[in-house]
Structure 1
């Protein structure tokens, strides 16, 4: 039956979905800052109740594996690990940028490229580059974008930019072959890619799996009181 619960928590989105053999059964999403700890597990519970499933019905749990928010990723992975461990089912990690890029699938043509971008503050983004077959051309990386670094790609093909890092980059990346899609991270495509991994039995080690934060987490001290963080 291949029922897979998918969790996306790498940005402000709290997004959970259930797929059966890669087909969507249901999805619930909430876009709000700093609510992952309060809302994510409740969304899982509510979605399963609406579909009429129990967690014991699942064959696997998938989770967006980063890059992204340290807190959001940590919460999403913790919930996914807990469910996988409790029900003795596989854990599937799905690259956050790959899942974001996969949303372009309905629009893509043979020669196009996809550049998913996630806001990493100021003029920095987390990004990668994929071709029309979703093969990685440039690996996942943090990158400061102060001028258009993709001009060679744009000479003879369309380049699709997608993600919450795109809006602040539109002026810098402006070009006749640039296509900007205002779509955010979603468990919809996490689940679609997770089913492909499920078929190939590409599972994570529950005990040792950690998200790809890309950047080391830093606690910033309060300027008013050096003893508070």
Structure 2
């Protein structure tokens, strides 16, 4: 049996799943304002392994959300994934964060636009068809009233940017799916298994998350 551990830490949600042949069988996750990834991730990994009724030795690969997203969150997830791959001598799989987020939208027509907060009016975004084919590459962009004007189809927006974007993205063909906020390890399962079957792995030693923007250090006000 092909059991894969999926780790998603690109946003405020810390999410871990175990998938069997590409199907999620266990998922532990939580979304908190304070980013509890450092405290929760390894606990969730242990609980997921136990919940699936397997051992670490049953894993054939570890998959990690590759970004874009929170710099700190991505670092925590990738570090944990690499440590497991080194210890267990199994391959590492990288899954597109925005594609996994888009996969939560179950719509029959139009386009899906996953967006993650990048501070102020900037977002990380991409455009996918309903069958998750890429229609526009990932980019960091500042949202204004002219954003996405080139698309005439119904656009379904998902992600944690709804509140700040609704005021400017007001065209009739813009639809916000408010219940889809963060990516989850649940949606990683099919993607990671597909990559496993294709031997589409990343180098455990040299893989880096897809930050998209440089990490900015903010000086303390004290």
Which residue is equivalent to 1:174?
Answer: 170
Residue equivalent to 1:49? 50
Quote the residue 1:227 is aligned against.
none
Correspondence list, 1:119-158, <5 A: 119-153=117-151, 155=152, 157-158=153-154
Following TM superposition, by how much is the alpha carbon of 1:6 offset from its aligned partner in structure 2, in angstroms? 0.3
Large movers: runs of 4+ above 2 Å: none
Partner of residue 114, structure 2: 116
CA contact (8 A) 1:118 1:166 kept: no
- CA offsets, 1:162-203, max 9 Å, x none? 001123211211222222112121011112211111111100
Normalising by structure 1, we get a TM-score of: 0.91
Taking structure 2 as the reference length, what is the TM-score of the superposition? 0.94
Runs of at least 5 residues in structure 1 that lack an aligned partner in the other structure: 225-229
- What residue is the counterpart of 1:26 in the other structure? 26
Retained in 1: the 8 A contact 2:107–2:130?
no
Deviations 1:129-151 (A, max 9, x none): 11233222221111001214112
> Equivalents in 1 of 2:57, 2:163: separation in Å?
41
Matched residues in 1 for 2:63 and 2:159: separation? 20
The 1-side partners of 2:56 and 2:90 are apart by 10
Q: 1:65-214 maps to which residues of 2 (within 5 A)?
A: 65-104=66-105, 106-109=106-109, 112-153=110-151, 155=152, 157-182=153-178, 183=180, 184-214=182-212
d(CA) in 2 for partners of 1:17 and 1:222? 36
- In proportion to residue count, which structure has more helix? 1
Could you tell me which residue of structure 1 aligns to residue 8 of structure 2? Answer: 8
Any idea what the Cα deviations from partners look like across 1:99-154, whole Å, max 9, x if unmatched?
A: 111112x2232xx111100011111100011123322222111100121411231x
- What is the CA–CA distance in structure 2 between the aligned matches of 1:90 and 1:42, rounded to whole Å? 22
Corresponding residue pairs, total: 219
Instruction: Measure, in 1, the Cα distance between the counterparts of 2:166 and 2:137.
Output: 22
SS in 2 for 1:73: helix
Residues in 1 aligned to 2:43 and 2:107: alpha-carbon distance in whole angstroms: 33
Unmatched 5+ residue regions in structure 2?
none
1:53-74 Cα shifts (integer Å, max 9, x gaps): 1111111100000001111000
